[in-house]
Chains A and B, each alone.
Chain A
Amino acid sequence: MTIVRLVVLWLIVALPLAWGVTKTLQNALKLFH
């Protein structure tokens, strides 16, 4: 049960961060094109 809770809590914060990092990386990569 703790493992499930751990995964859910971390996903709640990791998903928005991953989205933001992906968007930033997509823009940053344009610098090298």
Chain B
Amino acid sequence: MSVTYPESLGGNDAPAHDGTDSRSLGFFDRRRTIAPHDYNRFLVPPAALAVHLSIGQAYAFSTFNLPLSKLLGIDHAAPGDWSLVEIGWTFSIAIFVLGASAALFGRWVERAGPRKAMGIAALCFGGGFLVAALGVAWHQLALLYLGYGVLGGCGLGIGYIAPVSTLIKWFPDRPGMATGMAIMGFGGGAMIAAPLSLNLMAHFKGPASNGVAATFATMGCLYFLFMMFGAFVVRVPPKDWLPGGWTAPTLPQKLVTRAQVAVEKAWRTPQFWLLWGVLCMNVTAGIGVLGQASPMIQEMFAGRVSAAGAASFVGLLSLFNMGGRFFWASTSDYLGRRNTYFVFFLLGILLYAAVPSVGRAGSIPGFIAIFAVILSMYGGGFATMPAYLRDIFGTMHVGAIHGRVLTAWAAAGVLGPVLVNYIRQYQIDAGVPKAQAYSVTMYIMCGLLIVGLLCNLGIKAVHERHHHAGVEAA
């Protein structure tokens, strides 16, 4: 399914090696990144992974929460130190800006090409850490919000979509596996960042500082370099390129289009909003649990799981979150995208409904197994979405459309934790024992997944009147 994009669409029809003097083009010019026809496409995923492994640090931001609340007191919270609520806003702003910037800059990312986008993402994300380091050093909360939240959030949004749309174009035969590889990096980034942050803070800690500012500055530089490595090695496929020995399926598939839909039209179709609902419901159910996993296991099995044990449980969930991204997205190449989401919703409903019974039975292994599968499907939902969008809208503006769909993540980021936290608190205030306070939440999660299931059920092929006339699919 190779696609010819006209110049006006930021196309791929002017490779630097076909007559254009590549020296006259800037390093970040899209045309400088067009690969020769015999280029090995497996050289490209490391570029995507470098960016996603870096920006995945966002999931580990909570490792800074306690140290940031003790900047003045060093080993205790002193008067004037920031509260955990104030610090918590940094992550919320970053995730909100991620969704907003992915939606706003998605079209630009398609036009500018992945190298420029990754370079800008590196500048924003690395620069955001440096501004946040100043905020910590001068104890200015607004600078922390501005640096990590706003600037870093822009790096997150642009860095998230640029590699994904590039890989989809390199792997038309395995789009799920390709996006799974990249987005797995986002899950894995937290696993690198958490121990890295702790080691750096221990290294920089002194009598007058707990080392957060120096850690931020160091991480800013490291992530900038690692993301620039990605920008340096990324390539886009040449015009009419297809994987060797592969031809696009000749038999039409019901939910895999050979046409292209422009982003301006795509987001006005019912399919876009149904897919938005699918992602929002899947993420809401997972993110609420992820944020409360540690207290949940301690309260449901009071006296049997320590705080350290709960932290290990969270680590285990991160592994399944990461692994699920690659596993489920790759599986979707065989199952089909819609069927994969049916598995997420149906299995998710069964598993969430089983949690209260497993809690009452006191089965910790059962509880861990259930949440491991749930979190694998949470990650899988993120990783399968770009391939689903490509199936429905084509590859032409898949990055920009993906950017707009990611606003569902921002909405879920608010909805999920609010549902879990407030319902739990309401239950406890009403006199329900802490061990049982999550039962209603689990049933509400089942309800959300039913809504997602219905959205998925409603997805049909996009009507021909939305197809882009100026683009031909080979």
Contacts and interface: CB of A to CB of B under 8 A. Distances in A.
Interface residues of B, number: 30
Contact of B50 (A2, A13, A19): A13
Interface residues of A, number: 20
B308 A23 contact: no
B318 interface: yes
A17 B48 CA distance: 13
B229 A17 contact: no
Interface of B: 40, 42-43, 46-47, 49-50, 53, 185, 188, 190-196, 229, 233, 308-309, 311-313, 315-316, 318-319, 322, 368
Nearest to A10: B46
A31 B50 contact: no
The DSSP consensus for interface residues of chain B is helix
A12 B355 CA distance: 40
Nearest to B39: A2
B53 A17 contact: yes
Interface of A: 2, 5-6, 9-10, 12-13, 16-17, 19-21, 23-25, 27-31
A19 B311 CA distance: 18
Nearest to A23: B195
A17 B188 contact: yes
B195 A20 contact: yes
A23 B46 CA distance: 22
A17 B192 contact: yes
A16 B53 contact: yes
Given A16-B192, A31-B312, 10 more contacts: A6-B40, A9-B233, A13-B53, A16-B53, A24-B195, A24-B315, A24-B316, A25-B315, A30-B308, A31-B316
A6 B311 CA distance: 36
Contacts of A9: 43, 46-47, 233
B46 A12 contact: yes
A19 B72 CA distance: 33
